[in-house]
Amino acid sequence: MPARLQLIVPCYNEASRLQTEVFRQLVAGGSDIGLVFVDDGSTDGTGAILADLAKQGDGRIAVLALKQNVGKARAVQLGVLAAFERQPEFVGFWDADLATPLAALQDFMEVFKASPGVDIVMGARVKMLGRDIRRSPIRHYCGRAFATAASVALGVSVYDTQCGAKIFRVTDPVRQAFSAPFRSKWIFDVEILSRYLATTGTAQADSRICEVPLKTWTAMPGSKLTLWHAVRAIWDLALISR
């Protein structure tokens, strides 16, 4: 029986960071979750690690191996399209480094259970008392500035567009949001929301999109983001806004 949730995990040279046992345990024991790892043209040992992990997944782990590096945006989009073919009720994507622990999946799915009208649940890195959010102050404040700009561009109040943990109910507007390659390589998360809102309208955003403050989030070493990516993100945001 196909898994109810198909979770896409984009990977590029993640051999030293992949917590394979954590992923294996997620799908063990009759779990209603399937994993689709997208190997984005890795040049280290990622491919071999994923192939071995798939063998241990009892049919719940698939690997989509891309011949060349196409970037996270395209890797996620191709992974979601592959997941759609399995006819799940939900799809999502999750950062391979598990900066957001997989335990947060339960909190996300509870939102869908309680609110049948919600199509999108997104993790939000809200640094407040009682939450363990670990990232540098400069990234925190740059993130807040970007979120403000994204809110203006989208026409909705969103706290954190860039958290790499998102789940979607498979509806027609969600299918349309992933139907074509993204124009932006760095802030495709904003483009997903823009495409979705173009179909549903911004007036219904509060009832269709939900942000869940994460209990734990930890910035992992080995991030591939650079200052150039930040500059390009602002440019892409302007294009998305247009």
Give the residue-averaged pLDDT of 204-220. Answer: 95
Tokens of 227: 């200052």
Averaged over 51-62, what is the pLDDT?
Answer: 94
3-state SS class at 113: helix
Q: What is the pLDDT of residue 230?
A: 60
Give me the chain's average pLDDT, please.
92
Contact 50, 66 (CB under 8 A): no
Q: Residue 29: pLDDT band by 50, 70, 90 thresholds?
A: confident
Share of the chain above pLDDT 70, in %: 93
Residue 55 has phi, psi (to 5 degrees) of -65, -30
More confident residue, 126 or 236: 126
Interatomic CA distance for residues 212 and 207, integer angstroms: 14
pLDDT of residue 38: 98
Give me the amino acid identity at 171.
T
Section 63-81 average pLDDT? 97
* pLDDT at 242 > cutoff 90: no
**For residues 199 and 208, what is the distance between their CA atoms, to the nearest angstrom?**
12
Which of the residue ranges 2-6, 7-11, 100-104 would you say has the lowest mean pLDDT? 2-6
What token pair was written down for 133?
């959010």
What domains are defined for the chain?
A: 1-98 (3.90.550.10), 99-242 (no CATH)
Beta bridge partners of 213: 124
How many helices (H) and strands (E) would you count in the chain? 9, 9
**pLDDT for 174:** 98
**Torsion sign over Cα 114, 131, 237, 202:** positive
Is the pLDDT at 56 greater than 60, yes or no?
yes
Mean pLDDT value of segment 211-238: 75
Residues forming a β-bridge with 33: 5
Q: What is the average per-residue pLDDT within 7-34?
A: 93
Structure tokens at 201: 């309208």
Which residue's structure tokens are 């509806």? Answer: 171
pLDDT average, residue stretch 195-217 = 96
Residues 6+ apart with CB under 8 A from 139: 219
